[in-house]
Structure 1
Amino acid sequence: MLSASGYLQGLTLGMGLIIAIGPKDAYVIRQSLLGRHLLVMMGICVGADIVLIALGTLGLGTVVARHEWVMQAAAIGGALFLCWHGLAALRSALGEIAVPDLSSGVDVSLRQVINATCVMSFLNPLALLDSGLLIGVISGTKPEHERLGFAVGAISASVIWFGLLIGGARMIAPLFRMPVMWKVLDLTIAAIMFVMAVVTVRSVLGVAPVSG
């Protein structure tokens, strides 16, 4: 039987970690606006979180946390990953925008969606830090009878978030028939990527904040 307390704690932590626009979320938003292969994409996103959360709660997170250099390497890798996506979004925003036909979707193959979503899910150092490491470390501090509920709660947060993300993107899709909205989206994503890169390095490497 699942612990209600553990479930609520896992759900709360999961929502706090997952509700942030990272590279995977940005890709999900763009693909959702185009309306192709959404169930497959959501299945991979949630499935990846299940795998990482399971590994973390089974002890991987606690083991990795004992090696500071691994966490620092993951933080630097995550920051570079974010900067790369930020630059890609910035380049897209500054270039010419070809507005796709959202009513029929664009010709994006199932294989392309699967490959891109897997890369965003499993080769993203930030996802490894959040789902695999941080949730795993905190799970290790819980009583044994609460850990399963804690993991299920964190997984529920992933299902809720990606469901809302995909559904919400489709609701506002009509706005993106205007080229300027794609530029706004790309500029917003670029800004979030760069800010998150700085925050990631500062938080994990323990850089003291600059006082005003």
Structure 2
Amino acid sequence: MNFLPDTASLALSISLQGLALSLGLIVAIGAQNAFVLRQGLRRQHVGSVVLFCAAADASLIAAGVMGMAQALGDRPGLARALALAGSVFLALYGWQALQRARQSHQLKASDGGDGLGRGAVLAQAAAFTLLNPHVYLDTVLLVGSIGAQQPAALRGWFVAGASAASLFWFGLLGFGARWLAPWFARPTAWRVLDGVIAMTMFVLSALLVRHVFNGM
């Protein structure tokens, strides 16, 4: 696909926004991450688990972006309201990350599940992914509403960037588990990571506010 230089730069910028937003939301201590880490440590069906979790995120993100774009349609006022609400959410998320950076956290692989077949493992992955209400708030509502603010021709690039973040993170957890496990067990590492997440969320929040007021 050929792009003019300005269009290519814009597509790259939008992809990176999607990547940064998705990474900031997905990199957190939780049951799904612990499950992927556990499978990586045990080297059991790692590829299947990583692909399932990444594909589930990509599907929800795409559905959110396209669905929100259709729902917003000719409702610029609603679009601005959702963008401002998203900006507030990102700022609050960044504040929470700063608070986490002041506390001690660590991510450890959970016990149980030895010797399960691929089907049983994927059923567990589906439960950790799809039965978590936060995944819908993050991917469908938040990422979807922000992605819907992008130019129609470039929304696919936003979805691609956000989806790439999921594939990168789950791949890192699953295939790099034996190297990452000792690092994730250190509270200091999580403090640094939460600090980076906080700054990322603050920057994205500011960019979203600027987008709203530039479009008025």
TM-score calculated relative to the size of structure 1: 0.62
In structure 1, the residue corresponding to 2:87 is in which secondary structure? helix
**1:132 equivalenced with 2:117 (yes/no):** no
In angstroms, what is the RMSD of aligned CA positions? 4.2
Deviation at 1:186, TM superposition (A): 1.6
Matches of 1:198 and 1:83 in 2, distance apart?
8
- Structural mapping, 1:161-200, within 5 Å: 161-178=165-182, 181-200=185-204
Segments of 5+ residues of structure 1 without an aligned counterpart are 141-146, 207-212
CA contact (8 A) 1:56 1:62 kept: no
Q: Deviations over 1:117-142 (max 9, x none)?
A: x513x313x97455433x433324xx
- Structural mapping, 1:29-40, within 5 Å: 31-35=35-39, 37-40=49-52
Deviation at 1:99, TM superposition (A): 4.4
Q: Given the superposition, is the C-alpha separation of residues 47 and 13 from structure 1 closer, same or farther in structure 2, using an over 3 Å criterion?
A: farther
Q: Given the superposition, is the C-alpha separation of residues 82 and 31 from structure 1 closer, same or farther in structure 2, using an over 3 Å criterion?
A: farther
Identity of aligned residues (%): 10
61-70 or 36-45, which moves further after superposition? 61-70
Deviation at 1:47, TM superposition (A): 1.0
Letter paired with 1:15: S
CA contact (8 A) 1:62 1:137 kept: no
Count of residue pairs brought into register by the alignment: 188
Deviation at 1:73, TM superposition (A): 2.6
Segments of 5+ residues of structure 2 without an aligned counterpart are 40-45, 115-120, 211-216
Q: Deviations over 1:174-207 (max 9, x none)?
A: 223426754244213321233234334444445x
**1:113 equivalenced with 2:129 (yes/no):** yes
Q: Deviations over 1:68-93 (max 9, x none)?
A: 44432332123223433554565343
Letter paired with 1:191: G
CA contact (8 A) 1:71 1:204 kept: yes
CA contact (8 A) 1:57 1:139 kept: no
Q: Deviations over 1:10-29 (max 9, x none)?
A: 86244311222312244576
**1:100 equivalenced with 2:100 (yes/no):** no
CA contact (8 A) 2:54 2:166 kept: yes
Matches of 2:66 and 2:84 in 1, distance apart?
22
1:24 corresponds to which residue? 26
